[in-house]
Amino acid sequence: MLVQQILKSKGDSAVITISPQTKVSEAAQTLAERRIGGLVVSRDGETVEGIISERDIVRSLAVRGVVCMTETVSEMMTRNPVCCSRQDTSDAVLARMTDGRFRHMPVVEAGKLVGIVTIGDVVKARLEELAMEKTALEGMIMGY
Binding site for ligand AMP (CB under 6 A): 37-38, 51-53, 55-56, 78, 81-82, 100, 102-105
* Ordered strands of the 50-53 beta sheet: 17-18, 38-41, 50-53, 78-79
- Minimum distance of ligand AMP from residue 37's CB (angstroms): 5
What does each C-alpha distance from 141 to 38, 64, 79, 91 come to in angstroms?
A: 44, 60, 50, 26
- Minimum distance of ligand AMP from residue 3's CB (angstroms): 13
**Given the complex with ligand AMP, which of 25 and 78 has the nearer CB atom?**
78
- Minimum distance of ligand AMP from residue 138's CB (angstroms): 36
- Minimum distance of ligand AMP from residue 4's CB (angstroms): 18
**Given the complex with ligand AMP, which of 41 and 125 has the nearer CB atom?**
41
SS3 for 50? strand
**Given the complex with ligand AMP, which of 20 and 37 has the nearer CB atom?**
37
Backbone phi, psi, residue 143, to 5°: 80, 30
Cα distance between residue 113 and residue 129, in whole Å: 26
